[in-house]
Amino acid sequence: MTEPETLIPKHGGYRNLKSFQVAQLAYDVTVRFCDRYIDKKSRTHDQMVQAARSGVQNIAEGSQVSGTSKKMELKLTNVARASLEELRLDYEDFLRQRGLPLWERSDPRRQALIDRRCRTADDVARWVKEIHDRDLSGRSGQGGRSAPISSELSTQSTQSTNSAYPEIAANAVLTLISVATALLDRQIAAQAAAFETEGGFTERLYRVRQDRRRSP
C-alpha cells in the first residue's frame, strides 16, 4: 500500500546538496581571493563577493521553499546558476586583464583539484601552494624542494609579487565554479522534469483534497 501524498513534502536539506557544498567553498575562497587581489574599495570586489554569495544563498532558499513552491525552487536554482556564471566571467576577466593564462578544460591541474575533494578554503590554499611550488621547481630544473612560500590564500596577510599565485588561485576557483554549475545544471533539469510530471503546490493541494474526500 502506497503512502498517501502529503500536502507539504520534505524540503530543505540543502547542506547535503553537493552543489551547495561546492558553491559555498567557491564563495569562501572568493572572499579571500578578493581581499588579496582586488581593491577592497572597488565595485568589482563587492560584485564578485556578492555573486559568490548569491550562488550559495539561492541554492539554500530554493531548497527551503520547495515544500510549497516547486516553481520558486526552480527559479531560485536558476538564479544561483546565473550568479555563478557571472562570477566565472569576473575571474576570466581578472586573468585576461593581467595577461595570465586561463587553464584549458583538459589541464590536469583542474582534475587534480577535483580529485583532492577540498572541503575548506584552507584545503584549497594548501593545494595552490603545492601546485605553485611544484611548477616553480619544474621551471627551475631542480629536483629538490623549493624554499617555503606563504600560501596566498592563507588567513595571514602576506604580500607577493609572484604572478603564479593569482593565476593558480583564480583558475582553482574557476574549476570549483565549473563543478558547481555542472551540478546545478543537472539539478535544474531534475527539478524541471519533476515540475512537468507532478506539478506544483496547487496541483498537489488538489490531489490531497481529492484523496481526502475519497477516503472513508
Interval 21-51: pLDDT, tens: 999 999 999 999 999 999 999 999 999 999 9
Element (H, E) at 92: helix 70-97
Burial class (CB in 10 A: 0-12, 13-18, 19+), 31: middle
Q: Classify 14-110+120-142+168-214 by CATH class.
A: mainly alpha
Q: Which residue has the cell 611548477?
A: 135
Model pTM? 0.78
Long-range CB pairs of 57-66 (<8 Å, 24+ gap) are 58/83, 59/14, 59/17, 59/19, 59/20, 59/23, 59/184, 60/14, 60/20, 62/14, 63/11, 63/12, 63/13, 63/14, 63/17, 63/20, 64/11, 64/12, 64/14, 65/11, 66/9, 66/11, 66/12
Q: Are 116 and 127 in contact (CB under 8 A)?
A: yes
Q: Which three cell numbers stand for residue 98?
A: 593581467
Look over the chain and give the mean of its residue pLDDT values, rounded to a whole number: 83
Calpha distance 39→49 (Å, rounded):
12
Q: Where does the pLDDT of residue 206 fall: very low under 50, low under 70, confident under 90, or very high at 90 and above?
A: very low
Share of the chain above pLDDT 90, in %: 63
C-alpha neighbours within 13 Å on the C-beta side of residue 52: 27
Q: Where are the domains of the chain?
A: 14-110+120-142+168-214
Calpha distance 18→176 (Å, rounded):
12
Q: Where does the pLDDT of residue 212 fall: very low under 50, low under 70, confident under 90, or very high at 90 and above?
A: low
More confident residue, 216 or 58: 58
Burial class (CB in 10 A: 0-12, 13-18, 19+), 153: buried
Interval 119-136: pLDDT, tens: 999 999 999 999 999 988
Q: Which three cell numbers stand for residue 29?
A: 575562497
What was the pLDDT predicted at 102?
98
Name the DSSP class of 192: H
